[in-house]
Amino acid sequence: MQRIYLDHNATTPLSSAVIEQMTIALGRDRGNPSSVHHFGQQAKAAVDQARSAVAALISAEPTEVVFTSGGTESDNLAIRGAAEALVPAGRRHLIASGIEHEAVLNTVKALAKRGWDVTLLPVDETGILEPERLREALTDRTALVSLMHANNEIGTVQPIAQLARLAHDRGALFHTDAVQSAGKIPVDVGALGVDLLSISAHKFYGPKGIGAIWIRRGLRLVPLVTGGKHERGRRAGTENVTGIIGMGVAAREAIANMTSEATRLSALRDRLEDAVLATIPGTVINGTRQPRVPNTTNISFDRVEAESLLIALDLEGFAVSTGSACSSGTLEPSHVLKAMGFPAHRTQNSIRFSLGKVNTAEHIDALLAALPAVVDKLRSLTRTHARI
Ligand code: PLP
């Protein structure tokens, strides 16, 4: 059976150039980038080259890029590091939105248990945060605002530049989780006007377990991992050199392919959406269709339990998701759709299709050929009346 992967927001397959360069690097890997001798300097040069490529992906200076173990660690370092650094200033208030990834949500919740005040902002049905909601929540005690650039479940893109300005007007720092936007749409730290930004290699055809945080020059953070002076004292520990090399190659490819892939994938995604809405009754797109990353759609299928649809599609050879990877495999309603104010049935009948480099028009045709019958079959098993 042909298997078709439509879950690129969970993770992406390694690009062949990444595999090739990482394999070469693994065979050659002898030096520690902190060592002064030839082998160490060779490793350091490779890390520096990758740092420049990652910086270019987000239009940043290489010296402001710190490698981490991935998006989760970058989010933790941004939030915990900034929160702790601002304790002496008396700023013990954090703001995030209800649709953040668990890496942000559970980090601010953990800090709430340790005495920080936390405000979780609601979003409306479009999945976009109304800037006025942020303005109302900001106080002179707000240390940090953390709002994601693109949402992992529905793909909507927040007006980060506007939101960051509001935070700065009240003297707060601004972090954005750009894990789902980097590599898909232009991410420019200067234009966004943020102080901290998280990215992760495995979302743009790089390896898992490596990511980066961009930290605006001069910003003080309390490190999470203490030890040696690696990464300019921001994150101790011998660097994951091979992972970093892979991330650098992936970043360079993402820059080269971004425009053409965005055009290609948004056309495939839009065709998928239009055809589903036209041919399957009781379907609706979750979140605004614009502004959105080009590869993502999240569709509710009335009177269908999302988990059953996911499994039925998997049996037909299609890999999709019910939402964030972390909550897949559980029957938990999507916290994103819940935060958007949708009723229970709507938060439990949504499927995310996230397209990527491996997908072709034929894949979309195959999905569109299979989907109506799968949905019909599942609906025939339920007695619930139409609700959409
Ligand atoms: N932030 C967002 C928006 C994500 O989608 C993810 C991954 O699903 C993460 C953070 C976590 O990244 P990582 O898997 O690299 O820890």
Query: Is-contact 309 328, C-beta < 8 A?
Result: no
Q: What is the pLDDT of residues 165-216, one digit of tens each?
A: 999 999 999 999 999 999 999 999 999 999 999 999 999 999 999 999 999 9
pTM above 0.85, yes or no: yes
Helix, coil or strand: residue 270: helix
* Range in 266-270, 322-326, 341-345, 346-350 the model is least confident about: 322-326
pLDDT the model gives residue 276: 98
Mean pLDDT across 256-263 = 98
Strand partners, 68: 211
pLDDT value at 263 more than 80: yes
pLDDT the model gives residue 250: 99
304 alpha carbon – ligand 1 mean position (Å): 27
Mean pLDDT across 226-251 = 97
pLDDT the model gives residue 324: 41
- Nearest CA residue ID for atom 9, ligand 1: 71
pLDDT value at 329 more than 60: no
147 touches ligand 1 (CB under 6 Å): no
pLDDT value at 75 more than 70: yes
177 touches ligand 1 (CB under 6 Å): yes
Query: Is-contact 158 291, C-beta < 8 A?
Result: no
Closest atom, ligand 1, to C-alpha of 325 = 8
326 is catalytic: yes
pLDDT value at 8 more than 70: yes
Q: Can you say whether the dihedral through the CA atoms of 53, 187, 20, 30 is positive or negative? A: positive
Closest atom, ligand 1, to C-alpha of 209 = 15
pLDDT the model gives residue 387: 74
> Which domains occur in the chain, in start order?
4-11+258-387 (3.90.1150.10), 16-253 (3.40.640.10)
Query: Is-contact 302 283, C-beta < 8 A?
Result: yes
**CA atoms lying within 13 Å on the CB side of residue 166:** 20
pLDDT the model gives residue 333: 84
pLDDT the model gives residue 331: 64
210 alpha carbon – ligand 1 mean position (Å): 11
Which are the contacts of 154, defined by CB distance < 8 A and separation ≥ 6?
A: 99, 127, 286, 287, 292, 296, 298, 336, 337, 352
Q: Which of 326, 366, 368, 370 is catalytic?
A: 326
Mean pLDDT across 345-362 = 94
205 alpha carbon – ligand 1 mean position (Å): 14
How many residues would you count in the chain? 388
**Dihedral, 158, 133, 127, 191 alpha carbons, nearest 10:** 0
